[in-house]
Amino acid sequence: MRPFRYSPALPQTPPFTVGDGLIILGLASLLYLGVRLAISAPAVVAGPDISLSPAALPWYALLSTGRMAAAYALSLLFSLVYGYAAARSRTAERVLLPLLDVLQSVPILSFLPVVLLGLSTVLPQGLAAELAAIVLIFTSQAWNMTYSFYQSLSTIPAELREAAAIFRLDPWLRFKTLELPFAAMGLIWNSMMSWAGGWFFLMAAEIFQVGARDFRLPGLGSYLQTAANAGDLPAILGGVAALILVIVLLDQFVWRPVLAWADKFKLEMVAGEQPPASWFFDLLARSWLLEQAGRRVWGPLTEWIDSALRARGQGGPIERAESRPGGGRASPAALVAGAILALALAYGGVRALLLLRGVTAPEWLQVGQGVLATFLRVSVSLVIAMLWTIPAGVAIGANRRLAALLQPVVQVVASVPATALFPVLLLALLRLPGGLNLAAVFLMLLGTQWYLLFNVIAGASAIPQDLRYTTALLRLSPLERWKTLYLPALFPYIVTGGITASGGAWNASIVAEYVEFAGQAAAVTGVGAVIAQATGAGNYGQLLAGTLALIITVVFINRTFWRWLYGIAETRFRME
Contacts of 435 (CB under 8 A, 6+ apart): 429
pLDDT tier, 334 (very low <50, low <70, confident <90, very high otherwise): low
Taking each helix axis as running N to C, give the angle between helix 527-537 and helix 361-398, from 0 to 180 degrees, rounded to the nearest 10. Answer: 120
- Residue 515 pairs with which residues in a beta bridge? 522
CA distance linking residue 342 with residue 414, whole number of Å:
43
| DSSP summary character for residue 45 | B
89: alpha, beta or left? (left if phi > 0; alpha if psi -120 to 50): beta
pLDDT over 90 for what percent of the chain? 9
With a cut of 90, say whether residue 568 has pLDDT above it.
Answer: no
| DSSP summary character for residue 263 | G
pLDDT tier, 303 (very low <50, low <70, confident <90, very high otherwise): confident
Contacts of 430 (CB under 8 A, 6+ apart): 436, 439, 522
Taking each helix axis as running N to C, give the angle between helix 540-557 and helix 332-357, from 0 to 180 degrees, rounded to the nearest 10. Answer: 120
Contacts of 210 (CB under 8 A, 6+ apart): 113, 116, 117, 535, 536, 538
Taking each helix axis as running N to C, give the angle between helix 527-537 and helix 540-557, from 0 to 180 degrees, rounded to the nearest 10. Answer: 150
Tens digit of each residue's pLDDT (9 = 90 or more) over 347-362: 777 777 888 888 888 8
Query: What is the mean pLDDT of the segment spanning 20-31?
Result: 64
Alpha helices for 201-320 (secondary structure H): 202-206, 220-230, 233-250, 256-262, 279-285, 288-293, 299-312
Q: Three-state SS for 47?
A: coil
Q: How far are the Cα atoms of 116, 149, 369, 519, 533 from residue 538, in angstroms, in the given order?
A: 13, 38, 21, 19, 8
- Burial call 436-467: b when 16+ CB within 10 Å, e when fewer: bbbbbbbbbbbbbbbbbbbbbbbbbbbbbeeb
Tens digit of each residue's pLDDT (9 = 90 or more) over 57-107: 999 999 999 999 999 999 999 999 998 988 887 777 777 877 777 777 666
- The whole-model pTM stands at 0.71
Tens digit of each residue's pLDDT (9 = 90 or more) over 112-132: 666 666 666 667 767 777 887
